[in-house]
Protein backbone atom coordinates (compact mmCIF):
# COMPACT_ATOMS: atom_id res chain seq x y z
CA UNK A 1 0.00 0.00 0.00
CA UNK A 2 1.41 3.38 -0.94
CA UNK A 3 1.75 6.01 1.78
CA UNK A 4 -1.43 8.13 1.88
CA UNK A 5 -1.01 11.79 0.96
CA UNK A 6 -2.87 12.91 4.05
CA UNK A 7 -2.82 11.56 7.58
CA UNK A 8 -3.45 12.52 11.19
CA UNK A 9 -0.49 13.42 13.37
CA UNK A 10 -0.76 12.69 17.09
CA UNK A 11 2.41 14.20 18.57
CA UNK A 12 1.76 15.68 22.04
CA UNK A 13 -1.80 14.33 22.16
CA UNK A 14 -2.65 11.90 24.95
CA UNK A 15 -5.58 10.44 26.86
CA UNK A 16 -9.05 11.62 25.99
CA UNK A 17 -7.59 14.38 23.82
CA UNK A 18 -6.05 11.94 21.36
CA UNK A 19 -9.04 9.60 21.57
CA UNK A 20 -11.34 12.45 20.55
CA UNK A 21 -8.96 13.63 17.82
CA UNK A 22 -8.69 10.17 16.26
CA UNK A 23 -12.44 9.58 16.59
CA UNK A 24 -13.28 12.87 14.89
CA UNK A 25 -10.62 12.40 12.22
CA UNK A 26 -11.92 8.97 11.28
CA UNK A 27 -15.46 10.29 11.29
CA UNK A 28 -14.67 13.07 8.80
CA UNK A 29 -12.70 10.83 6.47
CA UNK A 30 -9.10 10.36 7.62
CA UNK A 31 -7.75 6.87 7.13
CA UNK A 32 -4.05 7.31 8.01
CA UNK A 33 -2.83 7.79 11.59
CA UNK A 34 0.74 8.51 12.66
CA UNK A 35 2.02 7.74 16.15
CA UNK A 36 5.23 6.70 17.90
CA UNK A 37 6.34 4.72 20.90
CA UNK A 38 7.62 7.83 22.65
CA UNK A 39 4.28 9.65 22.21
CA UNK A 40 2.80 7.39 24.90
CA UNK A 41 -0.55 7.35 23.11
CA UNK A 42 -0.60 4.08 21.17
CA UNK A 43 -3.04 2.47 23.62
CA UNK A 44 -5.38 5.45 23.40
CA UNK A 45 -5.23 5.34 19.61
CA UNK A 46 -5.91 1.61 19.66
CA UNK A 47 -8.97 2.23 21.78
CA UNK A 48 -10.23 5.03 19.53
CA UNK A 49 -9.86 2.87 16.44
CA UNK A 50 -11.57 -0.09 18.09
CA UNK A 51 -14.50 2.08 19.12
CA UNK A 52 -14.77 3.82 15.74
CA UNK A 53 -16.19 0.88 13.83
CA UNK A 54 -13.78 1.57 10.94
CA UNK A 55 -12.32 -1.65 9.56
CA UNK A 56 -8.60 -2.18 10.18
CA UNK A 57 -8.18 -2.93 6.48
CA UNK A 58 -9.29 0.62 5.66
CA UNK A 59 -6.58 2.17 7.82
CA UNK A 60 -2.91 3.02 7.33
CA UNK A 61 -1.13 2.98 10.69
CA UNK A 62 2.39 4.28 11.24
CA UNK A 63 4.47 3.98 14.39
CA UNK A 64 8.09 4.79 15.15
CA UNK A 65 10.71 2.88 17.10
CA UNK A 66 12.25 4.88 19.93
CA UNK A 67 16.03 5.09 20.34
CA UNK A 68 16.00 2.76 23.37
CA UNK A 69 14.62 -0.02 21.15
CA UNK A 70 16.88 0.28 18.10
CA UNK A 71 19.05 -2.71 19.02
CA UNK A 72 18.76 -5.96 17.12
CA UNK A 73 17.30 -7.81 20.12
CA UNK A 74 15.00 -5.03 21.30
CA UNK A 75 13.32 -3.78 18.15
CA UNK A 76 10.93 -6.62 17.34
CA UNK A 77 9.74 -7.13 20.95
CA UNK A 78 9.12 -3.39 21.22
CA UNK A 79 7.17 -3.39 17.97
CA UNK A 80 5.06 -6.32 19.17
CA UNK A 81 4.30 -4.31 22.31
CA UNK A 82 3.24 -1.38 20.12
CA UNK A 83 0.93 -3.68 18.19
CA UNK A 84 -0.64 -4.88 21.42
CA UNK A 85 -1.27 -1.29 22.48
CA UNK A 86 -2.70 -0.44 19.06
CA UNK A 87 -4.90 -3.58 19.16
CA UNK A 88 -3.72 -4.79 15.79
CA UNK A 89 -1.59 -7.60 14.39
CA UNK A 90 0.45 -5.32 12.13
CA UNK A 91 1.15 -1.72 11.23
CA UNK A 92 1.47 -0.47 7.69
CA UNK A 93 4.67 1.48 8.25
CA UNK A 94 7.37 1.37 10.92
CA UNK A 95 10.02 4.07 11.12
CA UNK A 96 13.29 4.60 12.95
CA UNK A 97 12.21 7.67 14.90
CA UNK A 98 15.67 9.22 15.28
CA UNK A 99 19.10 7.98 14.25
CA UNK A 100 20.89 6.27 17.13
CA UNK A 101 22.67 9.08 19.03
CA UNK A 102 26.37 8.94 18.33
CA UNK A 103 25.84 5.80 16.28
CA UNK A 104 25.61 3.79 19.53
CA UNK A 105 23.50 1.18 17.74
CA UNK A 106 24.83 0.37 14.26
CA UNK A 107 22.33 1.39 11.62
CA UNK A 108 22.69 -2.00 9.96
CA UNK A 109 21.53 -3.75 13.15
CA UNK A 110 18.39 -1.62 13.31
CA UNK A 111 17.52 -1.89 9.64
CA UNK A 112 18.11 -5.64 9.58
CA UNK A 113 15.78 -6.00 12.57
CA UNK A 114 13.20 -3.84 10.79
CA UNK A 115 13.51 -5.98 7.68
CA UNK A 116 12.95 -9.07 9.83
CA UNK A 117 9.85 -7.44 11.33
CA UNK A 118 8.58 -6.88 7.81
CA UNK A 119 9.33 -10.49 6.89
CA UNK A 120 7.33 -11.62 9.92
CA UNK A 121 4.35 -9.52 8.80
CA UNK A 122 4.53 -7.17 11.77
CA UNK A 123 4.88 -4.19 9.43
CA UNK A 124 4.08 -3.84 5.76
CA UNK A 125 6.72 -1.19 5.03
CA UNK A 126 9.79 0.25 6.73
CA UNK A 127 11.30 3.71 6.72
CA UNK A 128 13.22 6.34 8.64
CA UNK A 129 12.65 9.70 10.27
CA UNK A 130 14.96 12.65 10.87
CA UNK A 131 17.60 11.21 8.55
CA UNK A 132 20.09 13.43 6.75
CA UNK A 133 21.31 12.87 3.20
CA UNK A 134 24.31 10.92 4.51
CA UNK A 135 22.21 8.72 6.80
CA UNK A 136 19.61 8.16 4.10
CA UNK A 137 22.36 7.07 1.73
CA UNK A 138 23.65 4.63 4.34
CA UNK A 139 20.14 3.23 4.80
CA UNK A 140 19.76 2.69 1.07
CA UNK A 141 23.14 0.93 0.91
CA UNK A 142 22.11 -1.40 3.74
CA UNK A 143 18.56 -2.23 2.65
CA UNK A 144 18.79 -1.89 -1.11
CA UNK A 145 17.05 0.46 -3.49
CA UNK A 146 13.31 0.65 -2.99
CA UNK A 147 13.23 -0.68 0.57
CA UNK A 148 12.91 2.66 2.38
CA UNK A 149 9.31 3.81 2.03
CA UNK A 150 9.76 7.32 3.41
CA UNK A 151 11.92 9.71 5.39
CA UNK A 152 9.72 11.66 7.80
CA UNK A 153 11.30 15.05 8.38
CA UNK A 154 10.47 18.57 9.43
CA UNK A 155 9.39 20.67 6.45
CA UNK A 156 7.58 23.98 6.64
CA UNK A 157 7.53 27.23 4.66
CA UNK A 158 10.39 28.34 6.93
CA UNK A 159 12.42 25.11 6.59
CA UNK A 160 12.06 23.80 3.07
CA UNK A 161 14.88 21.26 3.25
CA UNK A 162 15.58 21.54 -0.49
CA UNK A 163 18.85 19.57 -0.61
CA UNK A 164 17.37 16.63 1.24
CA UNK A 165 14.16 16.79 -0.79
CA UNK A 166 16.11 16.71 -4.06
CA UNK A 167 18.23 13.79 -2.90
CA UNK A 168 15.22 11.79 -1.70
CA UNK A 169 13.40 12.40 -4.96
CA UNK A 170 16.43 11.24 -6.95
CA UNK A 171 16.48 8.05 -4.89
CA UNK A 172 12.75 7.45 -5.32
CA UNK A 173 12.02 8.00 -1.62
CA UNK A 174 8.99 10.03 -0.68
CA UNK A 175 9.28 12.51 2.15
CA UNK A 176 6.66 12.82 4.84
CA UNK A 177 6.46 16.34 6.24
CA UNK A 178 5.93 16.97 9.92
CA UNK A 179 5.49 20.35 11.64
CA UNK A 180 4.33 21.56 8.23
CA UNK A 181 2.44 24.44 9.86
CA UNK A 182 5.50 25.38 11.98
CA UNK A 183 3.53 24.88 15.20
CA UNK A 184 0.95 27.36 13.92
CA UNK A 185 3.44 30.15 13.17
CA UNK A 186 2.87 29.80 9.43
CA UNK A 187 -0.84 30.42 9.92
CA UNK A 188 -0.10 33.97 11.02
CA UNK A 189 2.29 34.73 8.16
CA UNK A 190 1.14 37.68 6.02
CA UNK A 191 2.16 35.98 2.78
CA UNK A 192 0.29 32.79 3.65
CA UNK A 193 -2.78 34.74 4.77
CA UNK A 194 -2.75 36.80 1.58
CA UNK A 195 -2.63 33.68 -0.58
CA UNK A 196 -5.43 32.17 1.50
CA UNK A 197 -7.61 35.24 0.96
CA UNK A 198 -6.92 35.08 -2.77
CA UNK A 199 -8.22 31.51 -2.96
CA UNK A 200 -10.96 31.75 -0.35
CA UNK A 201 -9.07 29.19 1.71
CA UNK A 202 -7.65 28.96 5.22
CA UNK A 203 -3.94 29.55 5.87
CA UNK A 204 -3.63 25.91 6.96
CA UNK A 205 -5.08 24.74 3.67
CA UNK A 206 -2.57 26.88 1.77
CA UNK A 207 0.45 25.47 3.61
CA UNK A 208 -0.76 21.89 3.35
CA UNK A 209 -1.59 22.33 -0.35
CA UNK A 210 1.92 23.70 -0.87
CA UNK A 211 3.44 20.59 0.71
CA UNK A 212 1.18 18.25 -1.26
CA UNK A 213 2.08 20.08 -4.47
CA UNK A 214 5.72 19.15 -3.83
CA UNK A 215 4.74 15.51 -3.53
CA UNK A 216 5.21 15.17 0.22
CA UNK A 217 2.81 13.33 2.48
CA UNK A 218 1.47 15.45 5.35
CA UNK A 219 0.33 14.53 8.87
CA UNK A 220 -1.11 17.65 10.54
CA UNK A 221 -2.70 17.28 13.95
CA UNK A 222 -5.64 19.06 15.48
CA UNK A 223 -7.96 18.69 18.43
CA UNK A 224 -10.78 20.57 16.72
CA UNK A 225 -13.17 18.72 14.44
CA UNK A 226 -13.73 21.78 12.25
CA UNK A 227 -9.98 22.13 11.65
CA UNK A 228 -9.61 18.42 10.91
CA UNK A 229 -12.38 18.70 8.35
CA UNK A 230 -11.02 21.93 6.89
CA UNK A 231 -7.48 20.62 6.57
CA UNK A 232 -8.66 17.81 4.31
CA UNK A 233 -9.83 20.40 1.78
CA UNK A 234 -6.19 21.25 1.11
CA UNK A 235 -6.21 18.28 -1.26
CA UNK A 236 -8.50 20.24 -3.59
CA UNK A 237 -6.69 23.59 -3.42
CA UNK A 238 -4.60 24.38 -6.49
CA UNK A 239 -1.91 26.96 -5.91
CA UNK A 240 -0.49 28.73 -8.94
CA UNK A 241 3.15 29.39 -9.79
CA UNK A 242 3.04 32.86 -8.27
CA UNK A 243 1.77 31.42 -4.98
CA UNK A 244 4.51 28.80 -4.95
CA UNK A 245 7.19 31.41 -5.64
CA UNK A 246 5.99 33.56 -2.74
CA UNK A 247 6.06 30.61 -0.36
CA UNK A 248 9.49 29.55 -1.64
CA UNK A 249 10.80 32.96 -0.63
CA UNK A 250 9.79 32.33 3.01
CA UNK A 251 12.52 29.71 3.51
CA UNK A 252 14.95 30.77 6.23
CA UNK A 253 16.27 27.43 7.52
CA UNK A 254 14.27 27.85 10.75
CA UNK A 255 14.21 24.45 12.44
CA UNK A 256 11.86 23.78 15.36
CA UNK A 257 12.65 20.11 16.06
CA UNK A 258 16.30 20.08 17.07
CA UNK A 259 16.58 18.23 20.39
CA UNK A 260 19.97 18.15 22.08
CA UNK A 261 21.47 14.68 22.12
CA UNK A 262 19.14 13.41 19.40
CA UNK A 263 19.50 15.63 16.37
CA UNK A 264 22.05 14.59 13.74
CA UNK A 265 24.30 17.04 11.90
CA UNK A 266 21.63 18.49 9.64
CA UNK A 267 22.21 19.17 5.96
CATH number of the domain to which 150 belongs: 3.20.20.100
pLDDT bracket for residue 1 (50, 70, 90)? low
* Separation between Cα atoms, residue 14 and residue 175, nearest integer Å: 26
Q: Assess if residue 54 is contained within a domain.
A: yes
**Residue-wise pLDDT tens digits, 158-185:** 999 999 999 999 999 999 999 999 999 9
Decide: 193 and 247 in contact? Cβ < 8 Å.
Answer: no
Handedness of CA 130, 133, 135, 141 (dihedral sign): positive
Q: Assess if residue 169 is contained within a domain.
A: yes
Contacts of 238 (CB under 8 A, 6+ apart): 209
Q: Assess if residue 253 is contained within a domain.
A: no
**Residue-wise pLDDT tens digits, 195-243:** 999 999 999 999 999 999 999 999 999 999 999 999 999 999 999 999 9
Q: Assess if residue 267 is contained within a domain.
A: no
Q: Assess if residue 237 is contained within a domain.
A: no
Give 27-72 as a DSSP string.
Answer: HHT--EEE--GGGT-HHHHHHHHHHH---GGG-EEEEEE-GGG-ST
Domain count, the chain: 1
Q: Assess if residue 264 is contained within a domain.
A: no
Q: Assess if residue 245 is contained within a domain.
A: no
**Residue-wise pLDDT tens digits, 57-79:** 999 999 999 999 999 999 999 99
Is 97 within any annotated ligand binding site?
yes
* Separation between Cα atoms, residue 267 and residue 263, nearest integer Å: 11
Q: Considering the candidates 39, 158, 167, 178, report the single residue annotated as catalytic.
A: 39
Q: Assess if residue 246 is contained within a domain.
A: no
Contacts of 149 (CB under 8 A, 6+ apart): 3, 93, 125, 126, 127, 173, 174
Give the strand pairing for 174-178 and 217-218: parallel
Q: Which range of residues forms the domain containing residue 83?
A: 8-181+216-221
**Residue-wise pLDDT tens digits, 11-69:** 999 999 999 999 999 999 999 999 999 999 999 999 999 999 999 999 999 999 999 99
Q: Is 158 a catalytic residue?
A: no
Amino acid sequence: MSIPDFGLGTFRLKGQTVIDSVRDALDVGYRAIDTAQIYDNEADIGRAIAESGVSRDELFLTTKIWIDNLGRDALIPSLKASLDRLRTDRVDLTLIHWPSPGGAVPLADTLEALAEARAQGLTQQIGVSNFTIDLLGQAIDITGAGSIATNQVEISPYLQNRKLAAYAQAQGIRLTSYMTLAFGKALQDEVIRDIAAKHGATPAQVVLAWALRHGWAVIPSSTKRTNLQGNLKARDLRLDDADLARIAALDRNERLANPDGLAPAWD
